[in-house]
Structure 1
Amino acid sequence: MVVKKNPGKTFEDNLQESIKQSNEKIFFSRIKDTYIPPDLRQKVRVTKNDYDCMMFARSHLFTLELKSTKEDRFSFDESIIKQHQIDKLLEATTYENVISGFIMNFREPTNKVFFVPIKEFIDYQYIAKNQIKDHKYKAKINKSSIPIAICEEIGIEIKGFKKKVNWHYHISDFITEAINTYRSKV
């Protein structure tokens, strides 16, 4: 019996492999999730991960939460984007040379990936949830999610290409753009 891998985990693996294959030296650490069987979840307490991974390159630390969906948006629902992750990503930005945010993978139809810095995410979420009419966004505001069109406006696209099966992402280009864009804003 072949067990099909969760597409979100495949995305995480592809991103990690792209970092390994980069021409520059990048430290990458993925924080493993603890699996608790469903029948024990009410009885066992496990600490929650602050975010999925950390990456260190060019004297900058990136704290990152990775998300993947087949939809054209990510819901703000606590089951998708957890408040403690938002809080921890924001806390990390209080340190010098730390860039924090979400890497959002929109698998269908074209597998677009965006880095959305945590401060931009929080600003958008506040405006969306409170239905503030006066805002800077060109795309439609959705009070319960962040759509791909908003990610295109406020984020950095991490370009990539499909090999035979897996994707390869241009991590060095992303690092350059993120440092140039956010080092003075964090």
Structure 2
Amino acid sequence: MTEHYSPALLYRKEVVLIAINAGKQFETDWKNSVNKLPDVWYYRLKDNAASFASGENTRFTSHNMCDCLVLDDKSKTLYCLEQKSTKGTSIPLSMIRKNQIDELTDASEHNLIAGFLFNFRTKNNDTYFMRIQEFNKMISEIGKKSFNQKDLSKYNTVRVQSRIKKVNYAYDVKQFIKDTCEVNNVLQ
């Protein structure tokens, strides 16, 4: 659990601990890792109101194609990344919205890299990047309603290295960019 303090409550000398779900923590850890690199830009797309309280109080909701955009200045590579995290050994396809698949697929037809960061909250914090083209190929071939690390290993994924800090993780974003740019050059 990550501790967050409300400035208003701190002013009144009260402390309230707010738990962040593990998926949001993965996104935060990734953002913090990217932001340590001076030549890499990060932008988190805003969640809409439907992301909170199960969306019961909204009449219209938009759906982002991905969680964040990352731009590497050196390679001039733009990434559209959707991040998925699970405590289990597999990721159900129900975790991924159709519009995300369709829009990442459309985006990948341009000069950028679009795909998923899959995080398995295991002892090793196994994390993989998969381009949307490889994801589409995998889904059409495996014939299952979920996929696991073994499935991912068959479809040109890039393993993202991480290390545990005290509580949270730091990701080797520099190596991720190097690896994905190399894979991108091979696949083109």
Change (3 A) 1:165 1:40: closer
- CA deviations over 1:47-96 (Å, ceiling 9, x no partner): 1111111111121111110000001111112xx11110001111111112
Letter in 1 for 2:149: I
**SS of residue matched to 1:108:** coil
Match of 2:11 in 1: none
Q: Max radius of gyration: which structure? A: 2
User: Any gaps of 5 or more consecutive residues in structure 2?
Assistant: 1-15
Shift of 1:3: 2.6
User: Any gaps of 5 or more consecutive residues in structure 1?
Assistant: 130-142
Match of 1:159 in 2: 161
Change (3 A) 1:161 1:45: same
Cα distance in structure 1, aligned partners of 2:30 and 2:183: 21
Runs of 4+, deviation exceeding 3 Å = 36-40
Shift of 1:109: 2.8
Cα distance in structure 2, aligned partners of 1:10 and 1:43: 25
Letter in 1 for 2:181: I
Cα distance in structure 2, aligned partners of 1:44 and 1:152: 41
Matching of residues 65-84 of structure 1 within 5 Å: 65-77=82-94, 80-84=95-99
Cα distance in structure 1, aligned partners of 2:107 and 2:170: 27
Shift of 1:149: 1.4
Shift of 1:153: 3.2
Q: Does structure 1 conserve the Cα–Cα contact (< 8 Å) formed by 2:49 and 2:55?
A: no
Indicate the RMSD between aligned Cα atoms, in angstroms: 1.7
TM-score, L = length of structure 1:
0.84
**SS of residue matched to 1:116:** strand
Match of 1:135 in 2: none
Q: Which of 51, 59, 81 is residue 64 of structure 1 equivalent to?
A: 81
Cα distance in structure 2, aligned partners of 1:40 and 1:104: 24
Q: Which of 119, 126, 144 is residue 112 of structure 1 equivalent to?
A: 126
Instruction: State the identity as a percent.
Output: 27
Match of 1:123 in 2: 137
Shift of 1:14: 0.3
| Structure with higher helix content | 2
Matching of residues 11-50 of structure 1 within 5 Å: 11-22=26-37, 24-36=38-50, 38=53, 41=56, 43-50=58-65
Cα distance in structure 2, aligned partners of 1:8 and 1:94: 28
Shift of 1:152: 2.9
| Corresponding residue pairs, total | 169
TM-score, L = length of structure 2:
0.84
